[in-house]
Amino acid sequence: MNREWPRRLRRLLDYALPLCMAATLVSLLFPNPLSPWIARPTLLIYLLVQWRRKSKLAKGLLLFIAALSVLISSQSDNPLPQFLAAWDRFCFFATFVSALGLLRVSAMRSRLVRHAGQVLIRQRPAWRYPTLSIGTAVFGMIINIGVIGLFGSMVQRSNSLSAAGGERRVQAVRERRMMLSILRGFALVPLLSPLGVTMAVMLSNMPSLRWHTIAPVALPTAVLMFAMGWLLDWVLRPRNLKVPPVDRRSSKPLWQFTALAAVITSAVFLCGWVLDVRLPVAVLIACPLSAFTWLSLQRRRLGGGTGARRAAMLLYRHSRLIFGANRNEVAILGGSAFLGALLVPVIDRDMLAEALLHTGLYGPWFAVAAMMAVILLAQIGLNPIVSVTLIAGLFADTHEIGLEPVVLAVALMSAWSLAMITSPFTAAMQVLEQLLQRSSYMIAWRWDGLFFWIIVPTLCVWVFVLHSFLG
């Protein structure tokens, strides 16, 4: 009996995050005083239980916000309302990350995802970049960072020495071109995905914006980045290289997955329209339901029924692994949201706007400076989640600094995209470093360095073009 109690207690602790998610969603849909007081302590329990397994960055950020909280408490007469509001933001983003994580669980168990990925890998060299890049962007909307590991491992398996005709040079060239295609495709996700963390951060910190106001500007920006990457891949393609024939497969799985991604995205928009809620809140509802439905359909193959019971049992038995896998994303994204909600109210934005005017960082110049700050800070290890949250939260109305909100939003989203694929410290680079057994510095700064130096000034000019059209 004495041994049974620790097991039961541990089992209850495994459900801390799901309970936080449910309470947060209820408080958003049906505001009441009880739900937040369920979400707040359960999130704290989750963070404490997962502490030992967190990354150094996640631990450092949580310790920093704890120290900052103590400092602000000592300077304020009544800090409790500000802390509760900031902690509620933490709960929201923890729920958001975990909702997307459930979708990733279903995707990584899907045969359709594996088959569609194989179709992307087995393309003719001339079409490999656009298919892999666009395919990674589409898959990344559903799987997020998991797409790097999935496609990266497929590239390694398909790019064997025998498949390269016994030529190690062919093998190395194919590996580099395909990995850069995947990496640059992943960079398009923050600009394209209405389901992603980037969009949630922008819409939460810039209340005047909606997805339908950002999309007409973000989508052409993504097209520009894609076109520059494809052009560079074509210009730098190896000449006089004997390429072995490619064993192509039916493209049916790829179109099926694209249709599935469209259905899930449509479900989010439909949910937002029917319930009259903002897009990030609709994601919290539609994505877990879509994930459970998808998982249930997979479980049907085991024989009979709808598969819902088997899917529920899988989530129940593996809850520790499923929700524990999000520990670092929850800590970093939620902690960044908490930090932004804590710091922004104490900053005198009128004084800051006046200072920016005197320094010349006004209008599009501020957007360019903000973009460069996010990219440069990422190179020394500061996650773009932190820098973008703080910058986006500085001005509820960017007209104070002579700038349209959507221009600043797209500049920050572009910076987030570039930071993900140029910083050696990001999750994408860490995954590729393990897969390729190469330094993340080599991948980010040598393999993709030329793309970075071309695309950054291009995007700076693009910001001024957007400002002239929208200002």
Domain span at residue 182 reads 103-237+252-470
Task: Quote the pTM value.
Answer: 0.80
Q: What is the pLDDT of residue 26?
A: 93
Q: Residue 296 domain-assigned? A: yes
Instruction: Give the model's pLDDT for residue 218.
Output: 94
User: Residue 15 falls within a domain, yes or no?
Assistant: no
DSSP per-residue letters across 92-150: HHHHHHHHHHHHHHHHHT-HHHHHHHHHHHS--HHHHHHHHHHHHHHHHHHHTTHHHHH
**SS3 string of 155-186?**
HHHHCCCCCCCCCHHHHHHHHHHHHHHHHHHH
Q: Retrieve residue 121's tokens.
A: 């890998």
Binning pLDDT at 50, 70 and 90, where does residue 23 land? Answer: very high
Angle at 234 between CA 228 and CA 237, to 5 degrees: 135
What mean pLDDT do residues 309-333 have? Answer: 80
The two structure tokens encoding residue 227: 């076109």
- 3-state percent helix, strand, coil for the chain, nearest multiple of 5: 80, 0, 20
Q: Is residue 31 part of a domain?
A: no
Residue 427 lies in a domain: yes
Question: How much is the average pLDDT of 316-322?
Answer: 76
In a domain, 64, yes or no: no
pLDDT tens string 222-254:
999 999 999 998 888 776 666 555 556 677 887
Cα distances (Å, whole numbers) of residue 220 to 216, 292, 311: 7, 33, 39
Distance between CA atoms of residues 445 and 430, nearest Å = 14
Mean predicted confidence (pLDDT) in 402-431: 87
- Count up the domains in the chain and report the number: 1
User: Rounded to whole angstroms, how far apart are CA atoms 103 and 262?
Assistant: 14
User: HSE on the CB side for 229, CA within 13 Å?
Assistant: 30
The pLDDT value given to residue 106: 82
Q: What is the pLDDT of residue 219?
A: 94
pLDDT of res. 405: 92
- Mean pLDDT over all residues of the chain? 82
41, part of any domain: no
Q: How far apart are CA 191 and CA 224, in angstroms?
A: 11
Structure tokens at 106: 């279903």
| 8 Å CB contact between 340 and 88 | no
Contact between residue 315 and residue 322 where contact means Cβ atoms under 8 Å apart: yes
Instruction: Report the C-alpha gap between 206 and 405 in whole angstroms.
Output: 8
Distance separating alpha carbons of residues 263 and 350, to the nearest angstrom: 44
Whether 405 maps to a domain, the answer reads yes
The proportion of the chain whose per-residue pLDDT surpasses 90, expressed as a percent, equals: 21
pLDDT of residue 396: 66
In a domain, 77, yes or no: no
Q: What is the pLDDT of residues 44-100, one digit of tens each?
A: 999 988 888 888 878 888 898 888 888 888 877 778 888 888 899 899 989 988 888
Across 422-438, average pLDDT: 78
What are residue 89's phi and psi, to 5 degrees? -65, -40
